[in-house]
Amino acid sequence: MVAVSAPASSAAPPAVPIRRIGPADLRIALRMGWADFTAMRGDILFVALIYPLVGLITAFLALGGLPLHLFFPLAAGLSLMGPLVAVGFYELARRREARMESGWSHFFDPLRSASFGSLLGIAIGMIALFGSWIYFAGAIHDAFMTNVPPPSVGAFLARVFGTVQGWEMMIVGNLVGLAYAIVTLALTWVAMPMLVDRPTDSWTAISTSLRAMAVNPAMAARWGLTVAVLLVLGSIPAFVGLAVVLPWLGYATWHLYTRVVDREAWARV
């Protein structure tokens, strides 16, 4: 689903060195991410409101103009776009780590970087992934439930939680959603900060991300679960908490990337 650009030559470049990480690395990444947030929250306050605003707009459209059964898939699917939205936070964390000026004006620097084309390719893929999730979520609903619109929110909830078909739909939908989340994590948890870090192509970034997950499957799963829990907590109430959770996770993901990828060894390759 994610658009990638293949290497220009047939000769494969040397593999980016990957480290094996443990639970302590996840804790350190979260702690350093929080330190970045507390240090730079004033500069990026207006940016941190973008994601909650998108969530509120989605909720408004779902309740007012879109089928009610798509509200939860739309809200949950926003997490698929998180790595894309967080690119600016990777840049701010990178600059602060390097003791460079890290004001909010640098949030959009990745749009002017040499890796912009690769970032754009992955962004298109992530949007396509999000669209396919919404499509399959609607198809799962129609397969288990009547396609007659419920007269009210209460009637919809009663249909979902009060019938066997409703519970079956939730189980299948959540399993499919989990698969989407795993794919998103595998493709982006290293790839996106890597493209912010230095010029490279999307093929190398994504393949490195997949190798990092293969080397650290348990820690990748634990990180994905941590992200999911924090996003859920940040979504209550009305997505407002994401103004804190999204930048924190963005900064923390950068620091996790620096622990997974051996950047010094990569520079010598």
pLDDT tens sequence across 164-191: 988 999 999 989 988 998 999 999 999 9
Query: What is the structure's pLDDT at 51?
Result: 60
Biggest distance spanned by C-alpha atoms of the chain = 64
Query: What is the structure's pLDDT at 22?
Result: 96
Mean pLDDT of the chain: 83
DSSP 241: T
Q: Mind giving me the DSSP string for 1-65?
A: -------SSSSPPPPPPB----HHHHHHHHHHHHHHHHHHTTTTHHHHTHHHHHHHHHHHHHHHT
Dihedral sign for Cα atoms in the order 210, 214, 216, 222 = positive
Q: Is 261 helix (H, G, I), strand (E, B) or coil?
A: strand
Higher-pLDDT residue of 20 and 109 is: 20
Q: Are 234 and 241 in contact (CB under 8 A)?
A: yes
Residues paired with 261 in a beta bridge? 18
pLDDT-derived band at 262, boundaries 50, 70, 90? confident
Query: What is the structure's pLDDT at 142?
Result: 86
Q: Are 255 and 93 in contact (CB under 8 A)?
A: yes
Q: What is the pLDDT of residues 214-240, one digit of tens each?
A: 999 999 999 999 998 888 887 776 667
Burial class (CB in 10 A: 0-12, 13-18, 19+), 210: middle
Contacts of residue 19, defined as CB under 8 A and 6 or more positions apart, other chains included, come to: 215, 259, 260, 261, 262
